[in-house]
Amino acid sequence: MKHSSDGIFPAVCPLDCPDTCGLLVHKQDGKIVKVEGNPAHPVTKGAICNKVRNMAARVHHPERLMHPLRRTGPKGSGAFEQISWDEAVAEIAGRYKQLSADYGPESILPYYFYGNMGMLSVGGMDRRFFNRLGASRLDAKICSAAGTTGWVYTMGMDGGASPEDTVNADLIIVWGGNIVSTNMHQVVFAEQARKRGAKIVVIDVHRNRTAQWGDWFLPLYPGTDAALALGLMHILFRDGLTDEAFLQKYTVGHEALREQALKYPPGLVSEITGVPVADIEQLARLYGEATVPYIHIGNGLQHHDNGGMNVRSIACLPALVGAWQKPGGGAIKSNGGYSSVNSQALARPELRSNAQARSINMNRIGEVLMQQEQPIMSLFVYGTNPLVVAPSADKVKAGFAREDLFTVVHDLFMTDTAMYADIVLPATSTFENTDLYSSYWHHYIQLQEPVLERQGECKSNVELFSLLGQAMGFEPEVFGQPEEDMIGEALNYPDNPYLNGVTLERLKAERFVKLDMSPKAQFLETLQTPSGRIELYSEAMELAGLPPLPVYTPLKEGYDGVRRPEQGADYPLMFISPPNHHFLNSTFGNVEKHQRMEKAPALQIHPLDAAARGIADGDEITVYNARGAVEISAVVTDKMLPGTVISQGLWWGGKGKKQRVNVLTPDRLSDMDGGATFFSATVEVKKREQVLEVPGTL
């Protein structure tokens, strides 16, 4: 494609969002002037969110990084000088050779996430580079680790119902997911179901946009979802609403689960969750009597100390009523497993000579940077903005401020994180790249080909790590492999039958290639759990030291129906900081258009909690706990139960502002697979007298 020409070009949304929309990019005079949905995409059908509709403002933002930079002032001061790519690459390669000699290559840590979901962008040349270097490995558990693990213990694979089938559902429960903001095409399917008579129930800790759209909103206390799921099971078993034939044929452990559910009568569950007994009874009846009940399991309820078990418990519900037998029934936690590609061909783990190299959980980055033993001496950050998105952000900042830490950041913008880099490298936008995209929700694979010429001196992740590989003297055939060859190898993966027939040639010709979903017809017969059945009782969990049956465990800070005595009076409010509508995690947080749409960072607080603290709507407040403090304004609202406060959106700090919510969040790990516990935080709030802002470092 002649990408310097003007016109309308197909593209793929690269953001970490389940919808992975097909886009059309309009170009005039070599610039993107408009981004719209591609009506030809079979699922997203031309509808896209407002964030990406305004993507041109980000791609052509005046502050986009265009050249490599080297730090000239103290860390975090933002003082940099422009350097050439040759200088930047030589400096990084030189430092990496020296660090490998002095401390060993494991003193170098890649720190990445999915700012761009392209399979070549993360997991391709980058992984080859760090494998060949022998760097420490990153355990990338910031997003969905705990919940996915809880799901997989129960269902065997990272996959559930097919989204397009959910139009057949007659009851839709959106549980801990704000899909109006975070998965808009699931809302489109749910609307179609609603037109045919489906009822939409939303279970959440606050009346978010999705709850306002749904038919029935049930607010509950944070982290109590497993108790609610067990309460529903209690009633389903008690009232004979279970599908006994299904339980016999497709599950193990239903008798043990029945016993377990006896321990969760509605009265107790109501006390734990804050949901009235009558509502628990009614929801169980609705679920038990529905013909095609579908549950959307969001990410919110698994960002907790007990997050894995929350998802695990909800994942048992469809089996109790045999929902999996009907197209559109069952649940979706994530569908990433259907589109798994040959990740080994991309990442080439065999290039690593130290197979035993340590693995570091990204949720612990602040702590890890402070450790004296086997210290991390260099961080290479790409596709993520840890100073804003990682938990316990003040600790993270202290780690990044270490003068002896050699930090490289590759990004499109001078993020809060890049401010702490020694070398900042400019990244291309997805529209300048070749890449391969799958969705972790729908079943279509897409190819991105460059539609915009390189902006400034920007380089893609693939180019960057290819250059670095060459500078280190690594194998030219590995580090110079053409992108299309890498894509071909990734798709060549007989281990995944769903990928059958998806090829580069077809992607080029057809743009949207559906996975071969025919193996799904045998879904229930080919479950990949150890028993080959849905595991209501899981021996694998028992072996892993986890409770084999669903169980409710209170959060480490916070509620279990009543305030827990050991929590003390210091930080009595549960603090939830989920994404907002117009940012994508911290992406767009620096774009004026998107900031305007979000107004300003705020804390939603219940009238009772506000009154107890003399706080009125619009007051400037300090939200604090032992981890730090945030200064934002109060919105007094009854959208949640008293005792819970909400701040939506991952705002950047920028200079002098104390508004990064992750200062308050714990870096504890969840019950399963080292997941993050962002939402298991407690805080106190006080009114703040207006003070003049003093500019300074972050």
Residues within the interface to ligand SF4 (CB under 6 A): 13, 15, 17, 19-21, 48-49, 51-52, 184, 584
| Contact (Cβ atoms closer than 8 angstroms) between residue 176 and residue 306 | no
Cβ proximity to ligand MGD: between 397 and 533 the closer is 397
Partner from ligand SF4, ligand MGD, Mo ion, none contacting 184, C-beta within 5 to 8 A by type: ligand SF4
Question: DSSP state, 584?
Answer: B
Contact 647, 623 (CB under 8 A): yes
What does 21 bind: ligand SF4, Mo ion, ligand MGD, none (CB cut-off 5 to 8 Å by kind)? ligand SF4
Beta bridge partners of 202: 174, 217
Residue 20: name its binding partner from ligand MGD, Mo ion, ligand SF4, none (Cβ under 5 to 8 Å by kind): ligand SF4
Position closest to Mo ion via CB: 143
Binds 13, which of ligand MGD, ligand SF4, Mo ion, none (CB < 5 to 8 A, cut-off by type)? Answer: ligand SF4
Which residues, at least 6 apart from 226, have a Cβ–Cβ distance to it below 8 Å? 306, 309, 310, 312, 313, 314, 550, 551, 552, 553
Token pair belonging to 276: 């009235």
Name the residue with the smallest CB distance to ligand MGD. 300
Q: Could you tell me whether strands 330-332 and 293-297 are parallel, antiparallel, or unpaired per DSSP bridges? A: parallel
Task: Using CB under 5 A, pick the residue from 143, 152, 252, 412 that binds Mo ion.
Answer: 143
Tell me the closest approach of the beta carbon of residue 664 to ligand SF4, in angstroms: 26
CB nearer to ligand MGD: give 562 or 691. Answer: 562
Q: Which does 19 bind (CB under 5 to 8 A by kind): Mo ion, ligand MGD, ligand SF4, none?
A: ligand SF4
DSSP string, 521-574: GGTTTS--STTSSEESS-HHHHHTTS-SS------SSSBSSSB-GGGTTTS-EE
Burial of 72 per CB tally in 10 Å (0-12, 13-18, 19+): exposed
| Cα–Cα dist 314/420, whole Å | 41
Q: Pick the closest to residue 512 from 559, 464, 444 (CA basis).
A: 444
What's the token pair of residue 636? 């007094």
Residue closer to ligand MGD, measured from CB, 96 or 552: 552
- Binding site partner of 466, from ligand MGD, ligand SF4, Mo ion, none, Cβ cut-off 5-8 A by kind: none
Task: Residue 203: name its binding partner from Mo ion, ligand SF4, ligand MGD, none (Cβ under 5 to 8 Å by kind).
Answer: ligand MGD
Q: How far is CA 106 from CA 99, 214, 349, 351, 408, in A?
A: 9, 50, 15, 15, 16
Q: Give the per-residue SS3 of 426-458.
A: EECCHHHCCEEECCCCCCEEEEECCCCCCCCCC
Chosen from Mo ion, ligand SF4, ligand MGD, none, partner binding at 164 (C-beta under 5 to 8 Å by type): none
- Which residue number, 20 or 538, has a Cβ lying nearer to ligand SF4? 20
Which of 95, 668, 132 has the alpha carbon at shortest distance from 357?
Answer: 132
Closest CA to 682 of 698, 662, 665, 670: 665
**Is 24 or 48 the residue whose CB approaches ligand SF4 more closely?**
48
Alpha carbon distance 149, 413 (integer Å): 33
Nearer CB in complex with Mo ion: 113/444: 113
CB 152 within 8 A of CB 541: no
Choose from ligand SF4, ligand MGD, Mo ion, none: what does 114 bind? Cβ within 5-8 Å by kind: ligand MGD
Q: Least distance from C-beta 145 to Mo ion, angstroms?
A: 10
Q: Which of 359, 381, 355, 357 is nearest to 368 (CA)?
A: 359
Q: How far is the CB of 11 from ligand MGD (least distance, A)?
A: 14
Query: What is the Cα–Cα distance from 409 to 405, expressed in whole angstroms?
Result: 12
Please identify, using beta-carbon distances, which residue of 168 and 587 lies nearer to ligand MGD.
Answer: 587
- Closest distance to Mo ion from the beta carbon of 299 (Å): 6
Cβ 378 to ligand MGD, closest distance in Å? 16
Minimum distance, C-beta of residue 127 to ligand MGD, in the bound complex (Å): 14
Query: Which of ligand MGD, ligand SF4, Mo ion, none does residue 384 bind (CB under 5 to 8 Å by kind)?
Result: ligand MGD
Of 20 and 100, the one with the shorter C-beta distance to ligand SF4 is 20
Residue 246 or 440: the one with the smaller Cβ distance to ligand SF4 is: 440
Q: CA angle 488-492-494, nearest 5°? A: 170
Give least dist CB 37 to ligand SF4, A. Answer: 7
Taking the alpha carbons at both ends of the chain, their separation in whole angstroms is 43
Neighbours of 604 (CB within 10 A): 20
- Which spans of this chain sit near ligand MGD (rule: CB under 6 A)? 16-17, 113-116, 121, 142-143, 175-178, 181-182, 203-206, 208, 222-223, 225, 298-301, 304, 382-385, 389, 410-413, 415, 427, 461, 576-579, 581, 583-587, 650, 661-662, 665, 678-679
Indicate the residue among 54 and 470 with the shorter CB distance to ligand SF4. 54
Contacts with Mo ion by CB under 5 A lie at: 143
